[in-house]
Amino acid sequence: MSRSPGRKQENHKISRELFVLTYGALVAQLCKDYEKDEDVNACLDRMGYSIGIRLIDDFLARSAVKKCRSYSETADMIAQVAFKMYLGVTPSVSCSSAMGNEFSLILDKNPLVDFVEELPAERASLCYCNLLCGVIRGALEMVHLAAEVTFLQDRLKGDAVTEIGITFLRKPEDKKHRR
């Protein structure tokens, strides 16, 4: 089927509610498939990683961002552009190390848990939104930034906020390229 030359390509978007419900069904199925929360967490992280390594191309094409020159710029870009673009929220960013390689993304509202009240008692160590950690880690790896990404706080576990910790694993390159 060919497109008419003057017609714009339609950008199909999935409704937020459908996405959140589908994600909930995915996590519920993983909980049925795996007995241990650690296995569910690892599976969500792997899925997120696979999404992240593919999503970065879309992000770079749609956002037209320039190269980040520091870890703090990268953390701000993740919060202010990527989260806003894909989840419709903008987490706050705080640096949590003197070296400047550890950051926290603090979400006052996490759209993935809109229809989740609390985790069952038998799933206390489940990291329900661990997919996000994998997405961030995979996307960063594709732009040659190795990082460790983990949940530090989670509203579903009774914390005041949802906090994702990002630790960049390599030293920032101080070399300036000579022409």
Per-residue pLDDT of 115-149, as tens digits, reads 888 888 899 999 999 999 999 999 999 999 999 99
Decide which of 51 and 175 is more confident. Answer: 51
Q: Give me the CATH number covering residue 101.
A: 3.30.1380.20
Number of domains in the chain: 1
Per-position DSSP letters for 125-172, written without gaps between them: T--TTHHHHHHHHHHHHHTT--EEEEEEE-GGGT-SSEEEEEEE-SPP
Q: What is the mean pLDDT of residues 38-66?
A: 95
- Quote the distance between the C-alpha of residue 129 and its chain's center: 9
Instruction: Kindly indicate the confidence band of residue 175, based on its pLDDT and cuts at 50, 70 and 90.
Output: very low
In a domain, 178, yes or no: no
In sequence order, the β-bridge partners of residue 105 are: 93, 164
| Range picked from 12-16, 90-94, 97-101 for highest mean pLDDT | 90-94
pLDDT digits (tens, 9 = 90+) for 18-36: 888 999 999 999 999 999 9
**How confident is the model at residue 179, as a pLDDT?**
42
Residue with structure tokens 């959140």?
20
pLDDT at residue 1 is higher than 50: no
In a domain, 174, yes or no: no
Instruction: Kindly indicate the confidence band of residue 173, based on its pLDDT and cuts at 50, 70 and 90.
Output: low
**How confident is the model at residue 117, as a pLDDT?**
83
Domain housing 86: 16-117+125-168
**How confident is the model at residue 15, as a pLDDT?**
79
In a domain, 3, yes or no: no
Could you tell me if 71 and 143 are in contact, meaning their C-beta atoms sit under 8 angstroms apart?
no
In a domain, 1, yes or no: no
Could you tell me if 134 and 47 are in contact, meaning their C-beta atoms sit under 8 angstroms apart?
yes
**How confident is the model at residue 97, as a pLDDT?**
86
Distance in angstroms (rounded) separating the CA atoms of residues 74 and 140: 9
pLDDT digits (tens, 9 = 90+) for 145-166: 999 999 999 999 988 899 999 9
Distance in angstroms (rounded) separating the CA atoms of residues 164 and 96: 12
In a domain, 6, yes or no: no
Distance in angstroms (rounded) separating the CA atoms of residues 72 and 81: 14
In a domain, 176, yes or no: no
List the end-to-end C-alpha distance of the chain, in Å, as a whole number. 49
Sheet holding 162-168, edge to edge: 92-95, 102-107, 162-168, 147-153
In a domain, 34, yes or no: yes
Q: What is the mean pLDDT of residues 40-49?
A: 98
**How confident is the model at residue 174, as a pLDDT?**
47
